[in-house]
Amino acid sequence: MDYLKPSGFGNRSSEQKVMRPGSVAIVGAGPGDPELITLKAVLRIQEADVILYDRLVNEELLDYSKPETIRIYCGKSPGKHSMAQRKIEQLMIQYAAEGNKVVRLKGGDPFVFGRGGEEAIAMAEAGISYEVVPGITSAIGAAASAGIPLTHRGLAASFTIVTGSRCSDHESPVRWDQLVQSVDTIVVYMGISQFSEIREQLLHYGKSGTTPVAVIENGTTRRQRTITGTLNNIEKLLAATKISNPALIIIGEVVRVREQLMELETKARSQIG
């Protein structure tokens, strides 16, 4: 299985830049549970000479790597970056140019709020052979592990994923007015600290205060906590439970499915008892 020759958009013709030795795999590590990583991702970790990994990557996954593999932490948390994005890209290029198999290991899916697209562009511009290995994104994994289907017959035929955090004033704002009118389920990444503003926007553009809301902390892991409420009361619940990042916010009628499942499970246990 040779990943030095990436397929699709990763290929570059001989008339473009000449490939340097080595390669980069931009790999999605999944939402946190180490068993939710893909087989292809594990193979890339096993082959890696260098791994640059993020904060939300379960470090158990590094055990798949060779003892001599260089491991570089470059995680980011709100307001605190251990390494600038440009420096990360420079290291990826440097190690690949030296002939190494480099893995850029990112939580969830690298192309969903993971800046994987920026890194792929940086590799292409530098003439570095690369591939992208998809991963289960947190919206899918955390919602499922909490018993919340993002779409559900009769409740939701659509969902969207947005970020609650803006890296700079130059980024396009989330169009809450359009989302309220056109999308059934809204999933917000990195939105805990901005939730008050998000709530105000949703209510302003027509969402009912009784709209169900779920917040999932450390989704798919042993530390997962889930709280449910409505737009009217979820802020009080957040304060009472001290839910913090990393957390995912799900807004929509599909949250009621979790409540239904919990009722059915409680009933089943009482019948068994």
pLDDT for res 74: 94
d(CA 49, CA 99): 9
- How many CB atoms within 10 Å of residue 252? 24
Judged against a pLDDT cut of 90, whether residue 252 lies above it is answered with yes
Which sequence positions are flagged as catalytic?
54, 76, 190
Residues 23, 141, 257, CA angle at the centre, nearest 5°? 165
Dist CA 99 CA 20 (whole Å): 8
Cα four-point dihedral sign 147, 148, 154, 157: negative
Specify the pLDDT at position 273.
63
- The mean pLDDT of 86-96, rounded to a whole number, is 97
Stretch 154-172: mean pLDDT: 80
Tokens of 116: 């994987």
Residue 62's Cα: distance from chain center in Å?
18
Mean pLDDT on 87-101? 97
79 — pLDDT class (breaks 50, 70, 90) = low
User: What pLDDT does 13 receive?
Assistant: 43
Q: 166, 172, 159: which is closest to 193 by C-alpha?
A: 166
- 22 or 19, greater pLDDT: 22
Looking at every residue in the chain, the average pLDDT score rounds to 90
The model's pLDDT over 115-137, given as tens digits with 9 standing for 90+, comes to 999 999 999 999 999 999 999 99
Q: Is 155's pLDDT higher than 60?
A: yes
Give the ranges where 56-115 is alpha helix by DSSP (H). Answer: 85-97
- In the predicted model, what is the mean pLDDT of residues 55-77? 94
**Whole-number Å distance between alpha carbons of 270 and 198:** 39
Helix (H, G, I), strand (E, B) or coil at 197: helix
Section 198-203 average pLDDT:
96
Q: Does the pLDDT at position 14 exceed 50?
A: no
Has residue 261 got a pLDDT over 80?
Answer: yes
How far lies 43's CA from each of 3, 61, 235, in Å? 10, 11, 42
Listed range (7-21, 121-135, 181-195, 246-260) with the worst mean pLDDT: 7-21
Whether 39 has a pLDDT exceeding 50, the answer reads yes
Predicted pLDDT of residue 17: 45
pLDDT at site 81: 61
User: Which of 74, 81, 48, 82 lies closest to 63, judged by CA?
Assistant: 48
pLDDT the model gives residue 179: 95
The pLDDT of residue 139 is above 60: yes
pLDDT at 245 over 80: yes
34: helix, strand or coil = helix
pLDDT, tens only, 233-242? 999 999 999 9
Length of the chain: 273
